[in-house]
């Protein structure tokens, strides 16, 4: 998304809003079981912003971690996942695409953890398929 328009969004209950003055560095699907569980969906999609580019109002409070090297923030009222950081992707914060008001203008550019894709899920695209984490592709953007 090459736009100067701010990125906006909100959690399910609207109790926490988000904004960013810059477009995400990358948008990706993720098929790993951790992302499926946290999103409750058969595949997750995230927008990766440079660290510090996304602001939440009010502050969502401290993150939680149930996987080594992964920190996640959630709305305390409705439980919506708000953001995540990954030790292996320093300098970036990932926001679930479904929270972002401009999601229609932010198509994913790759699939991460494609080897973990559910066998019955068929997405009709020709995007690059990273078998594992896609950390090099995500960092290199």
The verdict on residue 141 lying in a domain is no
Length of the chain: 141
The verdict on residue 81 lying in a domain is yes
Q: Where are the beta strands (DSSP E) in the chain?
A: 7-10, 17-20, 26-30, 44-50, 54-57, 64-67, 70-74, 81-86, 92-96, 110-112
- Show pLDDT as tens, one digit a residue, over the chain (141 residues): 445 678 999 999 999 999 999 999 999 999 999 999 999 999 999 999 999 999 999 999 999 999 999 999 999 999 999 999 999 999 999 999 999 999 999 999 999 999 999 999 999 899 988 887 765 556 554
The verdict on residue 66 lying in a domain is yes
What is the model's pTM?
0.88
Q: Residue 136: enclosing H or E segment and its boundaries?
A: helix 135-139
pLDDT at 141: 47
The verdict on residue 24 lying in a domain is yes
Phi and psi of 22, rounded to 5°? -130, 155
pLDDT at 5: 77
The verdict on residue 89 lying in a domain is yes
The verdict on residue 2 lying in a domain is no
Check: CB of residue 95 under 8 Å from CB of residue 49.
yes
Q: Which domain holds residue 120?
A: 7-136
Check: CB of residue 35 under 8 Å from CB of residue 85.
no
CATH number at residue 130: 3.90.1590.10
pLDDT at 131: 83
The verdict on residue 1 lying in a domain is no
The verdict on residue 28 lying in a domain is yes
The domain tally of the chain equals 1
């Amino acid at each position: 998304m090459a736009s100067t328009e701010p990125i906006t969004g909100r959690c399910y209950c609207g109790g926490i809003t988000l904004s960013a003055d810059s477009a995400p560095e990358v948008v990706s699907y993720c098929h790993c079981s951790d992302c499926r569980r946290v999103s409750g969906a058969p595949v997750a999609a995230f927008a990766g912003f440079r660290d510090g580019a996304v602001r939440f109002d009010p502050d969502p409070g401290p993150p939680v971690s149930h996987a080594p090297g992964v920190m996640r923030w959630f709305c305390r009222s409705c439980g919506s996942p708000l953001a995540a950081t990954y030790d292996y992707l320093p300098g970036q914060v990932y926001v679930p695409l479904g929270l972002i008001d401009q999601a229609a203008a932010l198509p994913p550019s790759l699939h991460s953890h494609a080897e973990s894709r559910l066998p019955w899920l068929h997405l009709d695209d020709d995007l690059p398929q990273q078998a594992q984490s896609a950390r090099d592709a995500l960092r290199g953007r």
